[in-house]
């Protein structure tokens, strides 16, 4: 006698994921935009102000910005601070990767070098220190892998979608969905200034930091198709009740409940994050 079985079916029709070549270790995958391959900085505005030699680029004067403008992205870069140690604190191997040209993931020689914690290498500058200090010795090559989710603004310049950064330094997670609070400025508190897709900026801070193997991938979410009866069930932001036209083998087994019970400190257009957001679970009952 066959044993009845059941499986849950969302009803969401997902597009098939695109097949890519993941590339060599730390190398660019096939869908990446290569920004520096060790030979030239033609993908950068003001790239002529930097020196290219022996497979790396180093600043002589001025910041450089990608010619590519983008929102959400995956970013890879390798960097090395000077082997000969000079200076201390923020005056030692200082640079930065600025996402949105405004949000600084700090580059610094933080190997046995004291400074304020939210200004260390790997910090989201003046916002949050790294989870750990994984810095290598001066002169050693180091890696940053960053997932950047850009803030979104409406036509009135109001923030409608929050932004965060996840970062891995030398294979170690050091920023875990860290929420951006605004521009990472040295003298002023963080404040958002509306912007669209923007370049990424590499900072010149007066120190001969070296960079190599720079690439990025534009990120975008798959856009699934939902049957009409399904839309109010799978969208956790929806407050609509289950449609009576839904198939009889599906039912909601959890009542709406708030995603946040604590008093949130962040708002979007005056509405606390989590307020009015529901969660519904759909379970298959066919056997």
Mean pLDDT within 69-86: 94
pLDDT-based confidence at 103, cuts 50/70/90?
very high
Place of tokens 């916002």: 127
Q: Are residues 201 and 250 in the same domain?
A: no
pLDDT-based confidence at 267, cuts 50/70/90?
very low
Q: Are residues 205 and 250 in the same domain?
A: no
Choose the weakest-confidence range: 142-151, 189-198, 269-278: 269-278
Q: Are residues 213 and 262 in the same domain?
A: no
Structural domain includes residue 18: no
Q: Are residues 95 and 138 in the same domain?
A: yes
Mean pLDDT within 258-267: 39
Residue 234 has pLDDT above 60, yes or no: no
Residue 176 has pLDDT above 60, yes or no: yes
Which residue, 166, 194, 218, sits at the end of a domain? 218
d(CA 150, CA 78): 22
Using alpha carbons, select from 176, 126, 127 the residue that is nearest to residue 147. 176
Q: Are residues 181 and 125 in the same domain?
A: yes
Question: How does the average pLDDT of the chain come out, rounded?
Answer: 82
pLDDT-based confidence at 230, cuts 50/70/90?
low
Tell me what percent of the residues of the chain surpass a pLDDT of 70. 78
What are the tens digits of pLDDT across the range 123-132? 999 999 999 9
If phi over 0 gives left and psi between -120 and 50 gives alpha, with beta otherwise, what is residue 13?
A: beta
Structural domain includes residue 104: yes
Q: Are residues 101 and 69 in the same domain?
A: yes
Which residues lie closer than 8 Å to 130 by C-beta, 6 or more apart? 120, 121, 122, 123, 167, 169, 174, 175
Q: Are residues 68 and 159 in the same domain?
A: yes
Q: Are residues 204 and 91 in the same domain?
A: yes
pLDDT the model gives residue 11: 85
Choose the weakest-confidence range: 84-93, 192-201, 235-244: 235-244
Q: Are residues 113 and 157 in the same domain?
A: yes
Q: Between these two residues, 158 and 60, which has the higher pLDDT value?
A: 158
d(CA 73, CA 220): 8
What are the tens digits of pLDDT across the range 141-166? 999 999 999 999 999 999 999 999 99
Do 165 and 121 meet the contact criterion of CB atoms below 8 Å apart?
no
Q: Are residues 209 and 283 in the same domain?
A: no
Q: Between these two residues, 263 and 50, which has the higher pLDDT value?
A: 50
Q: Are residues 116 and 137 in the same domain?
A: yes
What are the tens digits of pLDDT across the range 205-214? 989 999 999 9
- Look at the chain and report how many structural domains it folds into: 2
Q: Hey, what long-range contacts does 219-227 have (CB within 8 A, 24 or more apart)?
A: 219/72, 219/73, 219/74, 219/147, 220/72, 222/14, 222/15, 222/17, 223/15, 224/12, 224/13, 224/14, 224/15, 225/12, 225/13, 226/11, 226/12, 226/13, 227/11
Domain ranges, residue 177: 33-218
Which residue, 173, 199, 218, sits at the end of a domain? 218
pLDDT the model gives residue 41: 93
Residue 56 has pLDDT above 50, yes or no: yes
The number of C-alpha atoms within 13 Å of 25 and in the hemisphere containing its C-beta is 2
pLDDT the model gives residue 219: 94
pLDDT-based confidence at 194, cuts 50/70/90?
very high
pLDDT-based confidence at 6, cuts 50/70/90?
confident
Residue 183 has pLDDT above 80, yes or no: yes
pLDDT the model gives residue 163: 94
pTM of this prediction exceeds 0.85 = no
pLDDT the model gives residue 9: 83
Structural domain includes residue 115: yes
pLDDT the model gives residue 243: 43
């Amino acid at each position: 006698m066959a044993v009845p079985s059941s499986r849950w079916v969302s009803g969401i029709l997902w597009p098939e994921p695109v097949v890519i070549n993941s590339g060599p270790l730390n190398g660019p995958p096939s869908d990446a935009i290569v920004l520096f391959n060790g030979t030239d900085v033609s993908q950068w505005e003001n790239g002529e102000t930097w020196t290219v030699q022996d497979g790396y680029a180093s600043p002589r004067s001025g910041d450089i910005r990608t010619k590519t403008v983008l929102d959400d992205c995956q970013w890879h870069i390798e960097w090395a601070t000077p082997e000969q140690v000079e200076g201390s604190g923020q005056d030692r191997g200082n640079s930065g990767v600025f996402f949105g040209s405004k949000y600084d993931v700090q580059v610094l020689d933080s190997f046995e070098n004291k400074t304020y914690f939210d200004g260390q290498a790997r910090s989201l500058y003046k916002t949050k220190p790294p989870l750990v200090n994984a810095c290598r010795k001066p002169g050693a090559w180091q890696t940053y892998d960053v997932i950047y989710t850009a803030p979104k603004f409406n036509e009135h310049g109001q923030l409608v979608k929050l932004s965060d950064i996840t970062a891995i330094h030398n294979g170690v997670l050091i920023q875990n969905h860290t929420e951006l609070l605004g521009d990472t400025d040295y003298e002023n508190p963080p404040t958002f200034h509306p912007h669209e897709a923007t370049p990424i900026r590499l900072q010149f801070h007066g120190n001969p930091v070296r960079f190599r193997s720079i690439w990025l991938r534009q990120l975008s979410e798959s856009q699934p198709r939902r049957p009409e009866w399904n839309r109010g069930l799978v969208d956790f932001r929806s407050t609509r009740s289950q449609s009576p036209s839904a198939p009889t083998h599906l039912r909601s087994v959890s009542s709406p409940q708030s995603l946040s019970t604590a008093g949130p400190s962040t708002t979007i257009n005056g509405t606390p994050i989590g307020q009015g957001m529901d969660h519904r679970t759909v379970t298959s009952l066919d056997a």
